[in-house]
Amino acid sequence: MFKTILVPTDASESAQRALKMAIDLASEFGSRIVLLHVVYTPEALGYTLSSGITVLQEEIRIYESEALTEALGIDKGNVPIEKKQKPGHPATAILEEIESGHFDLVVMGSRGYGPIVGSLLGSVSQRVLNKAECPVMIVK
């Protein structure tokens, strides 16, 4: 049913729960997972800062230095997991990845801000849920 599952992650607790759920689904359906980490850069806001390059390089180094699933303490079993990272605004980068790939499902965490605070602060999961062209599962 689900061949490829996209799991956007920021390594938060809700993202950990989403990854666990995706691994369970992938195990059951024989799916593969694409784990996407978006590095929020100053350029995503329209700013050009030389320190942004340093921050981006450091986040990429940390992300690539250790398998994220091991860092989160999650047993992936036999599920193939491809790790990707992209710079930019999280919601935009996730939606671009959905459009460029052939994903059957997106599984992502919710920060749990609620409808009022989420609408004021902007919810990445809400934007992805509203604009994605494939099913989206939000895990609390």
- Can you tell me the mean pLDDT for 86-112? 89
Q: What is the pTM of this model?
A: 0.79
CA distance 52 to 60: 12
The domain limits of the chain are: 4-139
12-52 pLDDT per residue, tens: 888 889 999 999 999 999 999 999 988 776 665 555 555 54
Assigned fold of 4-139:
Rossmann fold (3.40.50)
The string of DSSP letters for 11-29 reads SSHHHHHHHHHHHHHHHHH
Percent of the chain with pLDDT over 90: 40
Q: What is the mean pLDDT of residues 46-62?
A: 54
Hey, is 91 helix, strand or coil?
Answer: helix
